[in-house]
Structure 1
Amino acid sequence: MTYSLLVPTVKDVVEHYTDLTGRSAMAPLASLGYMGSTMYYTELDTNSDQAILDFVDTCKKNGIPCDGFFLSSGYTSGSDGKRYVFNWNKKRFPDPNNFVEELKQRGVLLAPNIKPGMLLTHPFMKDFEAGNAFVKTPDKKGYEVDQYWGGDAHFIDFTSEDGRNTWNDFMTKALLSKGITSIWNDNNEYEINDGQAQVAADGLGKPIESLKPIMSTMMAKSARKAIHDYNPNVRPYITNRAGFAGIQRYAQTWAGDNRTSWTNVKYNVPTILGMGLSGVANQGCDIGGFDGPAPEPELFVRWVQNGIFQPRFSIHSSNDDNTVTEPWMYPKFTSYIRDAIRLRYRLVPYFYSLLFEASTKGSPIMRPLVYEFQEDPKVLEESFEFMLGSSLLVANVLDKGQTIKSVYLPKGANWVNLSDGHYYDGGQTIQVPVDLHSIPMFLRTGGIIPTAPGLMNIHNQVIDSLNLLIEPSEASSFTLYEDDGKTNDYQSGNYLTTNYQVSSSNDGVVVDVHNAGSYASKVKQFKLEVLCPQTAPAQVSILGKEIEQFLNYDKFVNASQGWFFNGENRRVIVKFERPSEADYQVALNFKVKDLISI
């Protein structure tokens, strides 16, 4: 069947395409944190578990947030060194249950690697054969054998109910029973050479060549079912290396094994942008490069500064020079890495709201400029600058040794350089000085960005304070999404949307706030940071009542409510506790006081 999408904009194409293929799954909130990973630890002779716990502790020691760890397949190695899925290596992980619990106490989820090819020497082979779990030979008289990582292997048939059930039974025993709720599906491209090998196709019986593309998608769907069957209210977090159209309904994806180079840090960007236009909003690349040598310091810093904007943020490595890529691998540069990752954590409420938008409209999280500015012909082929949501333009430094960055600002909006507050007209290229700390970001006029100050661990911290950065010169709105971030209660309506509608005139700025939903937000304290390039407010009111202005910043910091004008960045900061009303209004009066008339 062929579909034609006759719609006027790129946004419409993506929305209607995801009407057909499905919208991105709502992953747990903590999946937006930093996910540590490396093959190095799971290849140690012994005590891999302690190496990973030490990694988490070292992150904390260095002030680097971390909420998860992708566990590479070395945890399944047998005595012959080969990978045997679901088979814990007890020299490396002597007590998996305790290991998972230790990570949880530190606020870190574990996502173990599993692979659908099972070597013929696998210790559980007879059980899987008895479960009728594998792709069959063309004559259906035996199980197909093909080369896999480590030797000859059979392959799980995820189009077979027997195959799915047998696989999920072992997943439950080996992983889910230990408290694991996140699964990393790897090496699942199904490169079976004989296209006539037979799969069940849920009773239809088909050659593998006709169904190979959906095997990886079915693997992700199977994992979601296993987690749901084991604990129906746990929200799964699935990551897949491969997938067909619609994979976004079940899993986050990543771009496979990239190599350490400046070329890859740069071209990872259009890879993710293209995936977003293909309906896969929750996507990322291995930060720092998966294989090759360790990234040089400048490359590593720039890769992290770029990676923090990817929906999946994981530094992952299998370096070929006996090194392991860790945030602190270059002590003189650790502060740059730490600052970038902390910026990522401040943006978590923005990311989560964009993930909600992806789950309801299909919108990409990282967006090519053409997605937002289709009428500007100069952005049609721009591949390296991008929008994060509709409000923030990111123009990362992606080339070695740059001290000046050329940035094109699309026509259709004006732009604020967040590093210095300078306004620029859209439709021009500007030259921005950059150093190693620079992450060039530009706020769109009308932009609204919610942030979480001080967030260091999503699992163990409650986001009880929220800042909203607002550029008010154009009418705009933004919907903040909140739920418990962990369960499936949101599917029953237990979530909260807060719509911020901003309008402005010569007399002032009005922010109308409308809350809808049954979820009881944990946010108790708000700060609105409103850009005021020309005039400071004369007064600020909430629910029609004027609130106190502070001229002394220290007194403002200690107050629960009030406002302060920061002349350095020309922002008014309005601080207040959560009103009890579902709908309320914050009004900024910009009428200039006449201080000298009689």
Structure 2
Amino acid sequence: MRLIETAGGFDLTLAGRTILRHRQDEPCLYVGHGDPRVEMHHGHFDIEDQIVERLGLRHASIDRQDGATRIDLSQAAGLDPLASLILTGSDKGGAIRLEAHDPALNRLWLRVVAEKAEHVWGGGEQLSYFDMRGRRFPLWTSEPGVGRDKSSFLTFQADQRSNSGGDYYKTNYPQPTYLSSRRYALHIDTTAYSAFDFRKDGFHELEVWAAPATVELWADDSFTGLVTALSDRFGRQPPLPDWVLKGAIIGLKDGDESFTRLEKYADAGAALSGLWCEDWVGLRITSFGNRLFWDWKWNQARYSDLDARIGQLHARGIRFLGYVNPYLCVDGSLYPEAAAAGYLALKRDSDEVYTVDFGEFDCGVVDFTNPAAAEWFADKVIGRNMLDFGLSGWMADFGEYLPTDVRLHDGTDGMLAHNAWPVLWAEVNARALASRGKTGEALFFMRAGYSGVQRHCPLLWAGDQSVDFSRHDGIGTVITAALSSGLLGNAYHHSDIGGYTSLFGNVRTPELLMRWAEMAAFTPVMRSHEGNRPRENVQIDEDARVLAHFAYMTRLYVHMAPYLRALSDEAAATGLPVQRPLFLHFPDDPRTYTQQESYLYGADLLVAPVIQPGVDRWTTWLPAGTDWVEVWTGATHQGGQDVTVAAPLGRPPLFFRRGSDWTALFQGITTVASTV
């Protein structure tokens, strides 16, 4: 990283790339004061900011000494500096620490040099737009919303009912990190509310609601090198457990009847690795649909002999998975124990326990900033009630609901704790695994996240998609989610087969289930879900054609297990994700920079799932630089063109690099027995 002084300013470069350009008439840093208004309703946040002042710091005074560089910035020469940039560098990159000299200054706006044709990706787990250029992205963990499209009737209805319609930028897992097509990556080390604005041709404006903050930078000639650097920074996930690769995890929440229904999958020839029963803790019926009883232990009334059945499944090579989240319902047995021990977050202005309305039931928030509370939850709730009981995995849900007006044990303000909460939650789960020697053997999966969740959470899931093909909340969004999060060190990603959210008469179709299963067969984990309203939506085992198709897809997944194991080992060594954007291996093909409806499964297989209804042909871009072999026909296509292929149900468009070391495995896909 080099600082080059100019008349009236400076340029900051990293490996020859200009990152900051400061001139008196175009300052790179603005500071100010804002007064926010934050309201939460069932995990949906309404955030407004009144900017009291915004000041451009036009005069720079540079001080170089003892190998460090400090830039003091003021409104004009002769005035006291209001902020400073402190620069440090290394062989791997550099860092810029942003400091405000007046505690009243709680807003920073940093302008980073941009090019008109530049592309940017990242932002955590984005669902609508993989290439973020041309839009502004607030970065705040929350419910993404229903429909996520203000022009759709579904989102309109959700907004009218509960302000829960969402928008294109809302996500369970934001992260203030991006990669640029200029071959650098940038991360802001802060948990404060922030926003990345990529709408201007000449600069990106990065907004942070706190000072200080540190901007971290990496440069590399290869995109794969940047992904590895980010994985080094945020932490590596362990390899996938071997048992996961043996088949699909079947999601059923039907009490004891779940075991009977599982046999229908086995009889249909499905390859099975797990039975996931989130209702192992009991059910609570609400207007939203079937919810769980948030008291994290075996509910014997719903599962009469679960302890014995878990052992029987395990003997067959099938693991049992459950569900947990970091909140305790007030009418459960764990809530009074936690409250008496002082393990719950309090109201800001009193010693009363803070309870959150989760939709017709209230819960306390376990305060993970209290080491004793975190240890209690990891050891007793997860360790004893789940791992010691025999569970091999679980959905570690929520994490994005922390209110901003809570009082926490360590004194952290709620506005700074909110984004950090999913990482603390992931750490509690990871600690429980480690305490039982189960790291890399048991598996939990999360939807909420923030910077650093990678080092704790072994598997992401894409959250609660609508049960449809819609552009902003349907099947296609899980591809965008996998690609964006994968660039930031999250190697493993998957989704609810068939989607989750069914509201206002929106129900899933057999076609949707089948197309989703086709995609899931070429992701790290196959897992089904009955959705929030199981009785209103078609289930896999209720339709003979859907069940036969699903069983076939599980066999394809198992056929690909040797390749997936190799990708998992590669992820542990390099941080490269299993599902990869096309540009990661074809950087010289500019068309790959905006592709978000297809992905590379590893470096050698291109997957182009059908994500629209009522079609049996599909068009996809094949990257330039190699020839591609269509799996189902054996036809060879030259890269660098759009190709349209037949895509009937049961034959998702698949292409492999001609000459791949995995050619025999890929060709063998057509030999897997099919009854579709």
Distance 1:188 1:75 in 2: 19
3-state secondary structure, aligned to 2:250: strand
Q: AA paired with 1:328?
A: D
3-state secondary structure, aligned to 1:287: coil
Residue 456 of structure 1 is matched in structure 2 by: none
Distance 1:258 1:447 in 2: 35
Matching residue within 345, 363, 366 for 1:156: 366
Matching residue within 416, 425, 434 for 2:647: 434
Which moved further from structure 2: 249-258 or 333-342? 333-342
3-state secondary structure, aligned to 2:445: strand
Matching residue within 277, 296, 308 for 1:86: 296
Aligned residues: 444
Q: AA paired with 1:395?
A: A
Gaps of 5+ in 1: 42-47, 451-466, 471-528, 530-567, 570-598
Matching residue within 409, 429, 440 for 2:622: 409
Q: AA paired with 2:656?
A: L
Any idea what the Cα deviations from partners look like across 1:184-209, whole Å, max 9, x if unmatched?
A: 211221241xx2422234xxx31232
Distance 2:528 2:340 in 1: 39
Gaps of 5+ in 2: 1-213, 672-676
Any idea what the Cα deviations from partners look like across 1:251-288, whole Å, max 9, x if unmatched?
A: 21111111111121123211211111222121111111
The offset of 1:3, in angstroms, is: 0.5
Distance 1:339 1:415, change over 3 A: same
Q: AA paired with 1:25?
A: P
Which moved further from structure 2: 24-33 or 370-379? 24-33
TM-align CA RMSD = 2.6
Distance 1:167 1:150 in 2: 24
Residue 278 of structure 2 is matched in structure 1 by: 72
Residue 53 of structure 1 is matched in structure 2 by: 259
Which moved further from structure 2: 358-367 or 117-126? 117-126
Distance 1:78 1:61 in 2: 31
Distance 2:615 2:513 in 1: 14
1:34 equivalent in alignment to 2:34: no
Any idea what the Cα deviations from partners look like across 1:420-472, whole Å, max 9, x if unmatched?
A: 2222211122221232232211111232338xxxxxxxxxxxxxxxx6559xx
Any idea what the Cα deviations from partners look like across 1:368-398, whole Å, max 9, x if unmatched?
A: 1111111101111111111100010112222
Indicate conservation of the 8 Å contact 1:366/1:386, yes or no.
yes
Distance 1:393 1:232, change over 3 A: closer
Residue 345 of structure 1 is matched in structure 2 by: 558
Indicate conservation of the 8 Å contact 2:280/2:322, yes or no.
no
The residue correspondences of 1:252-331 to structure 2 (distance < 5 A) are 252-263=459-470, 264-292=474-502, 294-318=507-531, 320=533, 322-323=535-536, 325-331=538-544
Q: AA paired with 2:662?
A: I
Residue 333 of structure 2 is matched in structure 1 by: 123
Q: AA paired with 2:443?
A: Y
Q: AA paired with 2:227?
A: V
Q: AA paired with 1:242?
A: A
Distance 2:539 2:490 in 1: 28
Q: AA paired with 1:165?
A: E
The offset of 1:82, in angstroms, is: 6.6
Matching residue within 232, 241, 244 for 1:19: 232
3-state secondary structure, aligned to 2:217: coil
3-state secondary structure, aligned to 2:540: coil
> Greater strand percent: which structure?
2
The offset of 1:146, in angstroms, is: 2.5
1:424 equivalent in alignment to 2:673: no
1:166 equivalent in alignment to 2:380: no
Residue 422 of structure 2 is matched in structure 1 by: 216
Indicate conservation of the 8 Å contact 1:288/1:325, yes or no.
no
Distance 1:5 1:62 in 2: 50
Indicate conservation of the 8 Å contact 1:181/1:227, yes or no.
no
Distance 1:214 1:176, change over 3 A: same
Give percent identity, aligned residues only: 22
**Under a length normalisation based on structure 1, what TM-score does the superposition of the two structures give?**
0.69
Any idea what the Cα deviations from partners look like across 1:484-509, whole Å, max 9, x if unmatched?
A: xxxxxxxxxxxxxxxxxxxxxxxxxx
The residue correspondences of 1:181-192 to structure 2 (distance < 5 A) are 181-192=392-403
Moved >6 Å (runs of 4+) = 78-82
The offset of 1:9, in angstroms, is: 2.8
Indicate conservation of the 8 Å contact 1:183/1:223, yes or no.
no
Distance 1:78 1:96, change over 3 A: farther
Q: AA paired with 2:422?
A: S
3-state secondary structure, aligned to 2:594: coil
Q: AA paired with 1:271?
A: A
The offset of 1:234, in angstroms, is: 7.2
The offset of 1:76, in angstroms, is: 3.3
Q: AA paired with 2:461?
A: W
Indicate conservation of the 8 Å contact 1:85/1:115, yes or no.
no
1:197 equivalent in alignment to 2:197: no
The offset of 1:53, in angstroms, is: 1.4
Residue 661 of structure 2 is matched in structure 1 by: 448
Distance 1:152 1:396, change over 3 A: closer
Indicate conservation of the 8 Å contact 1:254/1:312, yes or no.
no
Distance 1:133 1:320, change over 3 A: same
